[in-house]
Every structure is written in structure tokens, then in C-alpha cells.
Amino acid sequence: MTRGRAVWVLLATAVPGLLFAPVFGLRALAPPVLAVVVACYAAFELCLRVPALRPWRPLLALPLGAFALVEVTLSDTTRGGLPTAASAGRLVAGVTDSWQLTLQSTWPVRPEADLLLFVPLLVLLAASAGVELLRWPGAAALPSLALLLLSQAFIAVSGAVAVPVALAYGVAVAGLFLSPARSAVALTAGLGVVAGVATLAVPVGPAYSVRQHQFAQVPLPREVSPLTEVAARLADPRTEVFRYASDGPVDRWRLVVLDRFDGVTWTADDRYRRLGAEIAPPAGMAVPTTPRAARITVPGGPRWLPSQAVPTSVTGAVRPFVDQDAGTLMLPERAGRVEYELRWREPSGDLSGLADAAVSTDVPPGDVGTVPDDIAALAKEATRDARPTFRTALVLEQYLSREYRVATGAELPTGSGWPQLHEFLLETKRGTSEQFAASYVVLARIVGIPARLAVGYRAPRAPVTGEAVVRNGDVLAWPEVAVAGVGWVPLDPAGTAGDAGPARTGLAEVMAKARAELPPPDERLPDPPVAAVAPVDEGISGAWVRDVALCGSSGLLALLVMGLLAVPVAKVVRTARRRRLTGVRGVVGAWWEARDLLRAHGARVTPGMTVRDLAAVSAGPVVDSLHRLACHVDAALWSGAGADDGTVAAAWQAVAEIRGTLAGQSFGARIRAAFALR
């Protein structure tokens, strides 16, 4: 009994422990969790066999579990199979740091012991507490329940998986609760399963996760923004920045993405996480994607590493931080040459609907600082006063590339604050990709298109295979527009203006086609098809009154129907109950039935009336039936012989005769009798 309960409580603790699997991967998580649970059971069994150890059980289970954990996950710190001071240090770090590292990382995390240690340690604590509380099974389940809720606070399982997991946990707790009687197990199990499955139909909102506002603390001080270096790099075009070898054509490499603009400087949100094992594509990306890979060698330079819009993993000696929204990689403590293999995903397949796509409504357009009046007018003119769609975004790009020139030569304009942009847009109309991109972003934001500014390098055109070298001259700043279902689509007003032409990636081809299909500059943009707008309610107060009236009337109607039906139903139930009576009570039940039938049909029945009294005040064929019933009632009550089944049947036969006689009355009388409260 005790052993069984201990096993159930340990199972109930292991299930929530394994719920962290989406974070760490089941293969990495299962061995330490199981090792800890087995160690707990070993301590329990030992204390059963050696009763002297019983008071020391928790003090025995915790070190035993920690030892098993060290052997399974920290075997590199052991010497000759025995834990060392390093093992203890790592365990302490597991208590203090590992959960923070996990929260700061993208999920699933890298399968490293330093990150997952806190889960088996929590399982150990919960299992030990559960075993100690075994005397009260309800309390013994609480530690595991707390662990389960904690696992949900980390990462909530989705609806379809939640039911089997809940059932598994429920089975473990039920095993803990199961009484020796084990009565009606099937009913409990059946109702539990039905109730659990029924929750699949319950809509549950987005899950809260403790990770939501947890980001890695990236060490300060910051370096110079790559955006301000664009002109400087263009002035020294031959210097090598990095080199790469990819499995296909690459359009551009990004370093940073800047989405905040206060009118003077462009800054980025500090939302870096440690890069985990693999990153899933963003939720808003509905288009099919293909995996890509490249090997990149960066000799030195800033902390930002060349990356792509949707990176999935980085392998190599580096452990970079990643901004999942922007796709930028950063290596805070960087010294010298860095080599890594980057994997990312690119939109592919059928993107033909891109030109007609709407801009994303999930992303706010962004800040623009204090907009000069003439710039707002320019924005309207550039977008031909159209609604914010992706086509409008392309028109704006076309406008910039048509009306403005890329600056070359020694005197390159710098800066991307409002004064410089004002000068670029309205006066010189000449700038580097920095001004092009910054101008595009602010104009797009003014007309309501969500846009952001990315800085990186254009991929060199020449080699598709083999190693490509990216130099200072390839530096590029470009705007990106949030498109519904696709994510951030990079544009290149400066590239098209400079006539460099994009590399042949799938997205770039579709964009080129869309650009070619744009209407001429003097034509109005065709409005995209608009979904039919739901008719607007006429006034809130009217609807409220109508709703209340509808609810009230339907409720009253339901009450009325229930009230009307209640009387006949109650009578049917009453008759059925009387029919089930046997012996003397059966005969008396038949008399009551006959009395109530006649009373419902209007006979004057007084308290204490006998069957013969009722027969005396009745008239018609009912009287004969009542006299027969009276004989049976007298025989049953006064003869002393009681009543057998035959007498009961005969009494009810008399009642049936009365009923048959009453059925010959008019329809109205019968209806009145059926609903009479007697």
C-alpha cells in the first residue's frame, strides 16, 4: 500500500517534470528527471527496510537525488565516478542561474546541463516533499501540482496535447487517492475522461509565460550604430568585412535592425535572447519556407554578426544572442575571428499574391518623431494618397528610386535625423542607402505602413557557389515592411536607384515582378478588394433593450412551458410510483389513484372520505368501478389476510375502468383534468 502510493506520487511528479520537454527536448530532459525519481524511490525503499533511517528520509533522498543527477548530467565534473567540488558548484548554479539562463534563451534551448538543471532539482524537491506528505494523499499531490503549474507558466501545452497529459497526471493522482474499496472505478474514470475531452471545445486565450518579458542582459557599453558608419564604409570600399560560403544565392546580410526613431537617432529594442538549439519561424509567417545554410567567417569588427531575417540555428564555437523579431545576431564578448554556420529559412513557393497583400495589422507603424509639415505632404504625394498596402509600399519605393539619386564619390552625405532627411528629401535629393532607407521608413510610417530600418551588407553578385567576400563597399541600409502572412519584407529603394539589382532569390523575383506590374506614376492605384463591412448596429441603447426583452420573453416562455408540463409530468411520476407499491399499500395506492383521478375531474372529495363515500357522491358507470375497488380495499385493510398480487392487480383494474370511463368525457374536460393541480 505505502509502496504503491509512493510510486504513484513519484509518477505524478515525473509527469510535470517531463512537461518541460518543449523547452529542453525530451531526450535531454528524460534521463535526469527519471534518475532523480528513481533515486527518490531508492531512498524510500531503503527507509522501509531500515526503519532506523525513517526520520532521516528527506535528508537521505535529497543528496541521493543530487548524486544521481550529477552522475547523469554532470558526469564530466566527476572524478572516478565521484562528485567533486565542481559538481557541487554546478548544482548550486543550477539552483541560482539555470532557470534564468533558460528564460533568457530561445526555446528549445541548447541541450546543456547548465540550463536544464533546475527542472530535475525541482522534481527532486517535489518528489521528496510528496513522499514525506504521503500520510495525507491530498497534500502529497500538491507539490507535483505546483510543479505542473510552474511548467505551464514556462511553456503551456496546447489543447490537443493537454487532454492526454492531464489524463496521465490525473491517473497518477487517482492512483494516490484510490481507496481499497475501489467501487465505481469505471464511473469515475468515464466521467473524468468525458469532462477532460469536453474541454477541447473550451476556447482558451493566449497563454501567459514567465518568459514573455525576460530578455538577456546584454553587456554595455554599446558600440557605434552600423547605420552611422555607412558613409565611412563606402569611403573605404575595398576592406574585407567577412566572407561566406552558402548553399544558394543570398540577397543580403543584416547586422542590426533599428525600429525606434526619435527624430534624431535610430535605435533598436534591446530584446536579445541566448540562441537555443533551434528557433521556429515567427507565428505570423504563413507562407511556406525553405531551409538555407551558409558558413560565415568574420575576421573581426563589431559585436553584431551577419545574419538573416529568420535565422533558425547557429552551429560552431560561438554562442550568440539573437533578436527573434529582427533576426539579428550579437556576440557580446567578442575577440578576434569568428566562424560559424548559420541556418535560416526563406519564404519560398507561391508568393504571387504578395503584391496584393495587406500590411500587417499586428505591428504598430512606429515612431517618427516630430514630422515637418512639408514631409507629410510629400508622403501623401509619394504614395499617391493610397491606403496602406504592400502595393503602396512598392509605389513608395518606386517613388524614391525614381526621384532620388544615390550619392557616389568622395563627399557622401551622412546622418539620418530629421534635418538630414529633410535636406535629402526636399533639397539635395542625393544620398546614400542610409538616407534612402531612413526616408523610406519615416514616409511609410507617416502613411501608416509599419516599417523598420535594417543595416547590413548586400551580397556580392559574382559567385553563387564557393566563398564570397563581403567588403565595406557592399554596406547597405534598407527598409523593411511588415506584410500580413509573410512577415518583414525587405525593400531596396537605394539598390534599385543605384541599379545594382538584387540577387535571384525567390522573394526578390516576386518583388521584381510586382514592381514591374505597378501602374505608371500618373495613375491612381487600384484599391485592393475590401471585405464586406458588417452592418453597424443602430444605437447601443436600442440593442440593449431588445436583448433584454428577448432574453426576458424567452425566459418567461421557458418558465411557462416548464410550469405547464410540470403538472402532467408530476402526475405520471406519481402514478408510476403508486404502481410500484405491493401488498396492502398497492391496493391503497390504487384507491389514491382513483380518488385523485376523480378529484381532477371535478368530484368533491373531502378529507377522510372512504371509497364508498366517494361512490355515493359520484354518478354513472364510475360508481360500479368504485364499489369493486371498495371491496378490494376493505379486503386488504380489514380482512387480516393482507393483499396478494392478484388483489392489487384487480384494484388497479378497477382504476383502469374508472380511467376508461373518464376518457369518454369531452376534450376540454380532459385537458382541464390533465392540468388540474390535484
Partner 1 sequence: MRLTRRGVCTLAAAVVLIALGLVAGYPLAVALGAIALGAVAAAIGVAGRGPRVEVIRELFPDRVERDGRAGITLRVHNPGLRRQGGFTAVDRIGQDRVTVAVRPLSPGAEHPYVDELPTGRRGRHQVGPLTLVRTDALGLGRSEVSLGATATLWVYPRTHPVGAVTGGLPLHHHDGEASETSPRGSLDIREVRPYVPGDEVRHLHWKATARTGQLMVRDYADPHRPQFTVLLDDRREVGAPEFEEAVELAASLVVAAAKADHRCRLVTSGGVDVGTSSGWDAVHRYLEELCVVARTEDAGLPLVPDALARWGGGTLVVVSSSTAVSAGDRAALVGVRPRYADVILLVGLPGAAPEVPGVRVLRAANAVDAIRQWQTVIA
Between 4 and 552, name the residue whose CB sits nearer to partner 1.
4
Q: Is residue 210 a contact residue for partner 1 (CB under 8 A)?
A: no
* Minimum CB distance to partner 1 smaller for 184 or for 569: 184
Could you tell me the three cell numbers for 590?
A: 390504487
Contact by Cβ (8 Å): 417, 353 = no
Query: Residue count at the site for partner 1 (CB under 8 A)?
Result: 46
- Asked whether position 184 contacts partner 1 by CB under 8 A, the answer is yes
**Which residue stretch of 95-103, 154-162, 299-307, 328-336 sits at the interface with partner 1 (rule: CB under 8 A)?**
154-162
Q: In this chain, which of 51, 206, 409, 466 binds partner 1, going by CB under 8 A? A: 206
Give 453's strand partners. 258, 479
Find the binder of partner 1 among 135, 182, 238, 524 (CB under 8 A). 182
Q: How far apart are CA 63 and CA 421, in angstroms?
A: 66
Q: Could you tell me the end-to-end alpha-carbon distance of the chain, in angstroms, rounded to an integer? A: 58
Piece of 202-210, 221-229, 435-443, 524-532 that binds partner 1 (CB under 8 A): 202-210
- Residue (56 or 208) nearer to partner 1, CB: 208
Cell of residue 171, nine digits: 491517473
Q: Which residues contact 648 (CB under 8 A, 6 or more apart)?
A: 581, 582, 583, 586, 587, 590
* Residues 59 and 72: beta-carbon distance below 8 Å: no
Site string (15-34) toward partner 1, x via CB under 8 A: ----x---------------
Segment interacting with partner 1 (CB under 8 A) among 142-150, 340-348, 417-425, 631-639: 142-150
H or E segment to which residue 456 belongs = strand 451-458
Q: Which span sits near partner 1 by CB under 8 A: 191-199, 350-358, 496-504, 557-565?
A: 191-199
Site for partner 1 in 109-138 (CB under 8 A): 137-138
Chain position carrying cell 543595416: 455
560 lines the binding site for partner 1 (CB under 8 A)? no
- Give me the least distance between CB of 643 and partner 1, in Å please: 17
Return the HEC string of 602-655.
CCCCCCCCCHHHHHHHCCCCHHHHHHHHHHHHHHHHHCCCCCCHHHHHHHHHHH
Residue closer to partner 1 (CB basis): 31 or 175? 175
Q: Of 82, 92, 95, 208, which lies in the binding site for partner 1, with binding defined by CB under 8 A? A: 208
Q: Which residue has the cell 491530498?
A: 138
Instruction: Please select the residue that binds partner 1; options are 78, 84, 100, 188, rule is CB under 8 A.
Output: 188
Task: Name every residue whose Cβ is closer than 8 Å to that of residue 103 and which is 6 or more positions away in sequence.
Answer: 210, 211, 214
Q: Is 4 in the site for partner 1 (CB under 8 A)?
A: no
Cα separation, 151 vs 146, whole angstroms: 9
Tell me which residues in 581-610 interact with partner 1 (CB under 8 A). none
Nearest Cα neighbor of 364 from 268, 263, 444 is 444
Question: For partner 1, which stretch binds (CB under 8 A), given 72-80, 197-205, 500-508, 524-532?
Answer: 197-205
Residue 346 cell numbers, joined: 526563406
CB-neighbour burial class of residue 363 (10 A; exposed 0-12, middle 13-18, buried 19+): buried
Q: How far is the CB of 593 from partner 1 (least distance, A)?
A: 18
Site string for partner 1, 64-93 (x = CB under 8 A): ------------------------------
Confirm or reject binding of residue 201 to partner 1 (CB under 8 A): no
Q: Between 51 and 180, whose beta carbon lies closer to partner 1?
A: 180
Q: What whole-number distance in Å separates Cα of residue 74 and Cα of residue 66? A: 10
Instruction: Measure CA 214 to chain center.
Output: 18
Q: Can you give the binding site for partner 1, defined by CB under 8 A?
A: 19, 137-138, 145, 148-149, 152-153, 156-159, 162-163, 165-167, 169-170, 174, 177-179, 181-185, 187-188, 190-196, 198-199, 202, 204-208, 580
